[in-house]
Amino acid sequence: MPKMRKKCDLPAKDCVVCGRPFVWRKKWEKVWDEVKYCSDACRARRGGGAKGVDLRSGGLGR
């Protein structure tokens, strides 16, 4: 992981779809370890239209 510090020191990761870095959001506080997409649009592109965050199947590695 890059050591760059964002403002407020929020954690960040790269979107697996578009490759852009995105930072921690409040709505992800409980699922941050599972978040892989920067947005719903990217999640839809990757998930092929699956609804909701695919947390239960864990089908993306791990």
Task: Rule CB under 5 A: say whether 18 interacts with Zn ion.
Answer: yes
Q: Is 38 in the site for Zn ion (CB under 5 A)?
A: yes
Spatial separation of the C-alpha atoms in residues 47 and 12, rounded to whole Å = 21
Which residues within the stretch 43-62 sit at the binding site for Zn ion (CB under 5 A)?
A: none
Considering CB under 5 A, how many residues would be counted as binding Zn ion?
5
Q: Return d(Cα 42, Cα 52) in angstroms, integer.
A: 12
35/38 with CB nearer Zn ion = 38
Task: Please tell me whether residue 35 binds Zn ion under the rule CB under 5 A.
Answer: no
d(CA 21, CA 25): 13
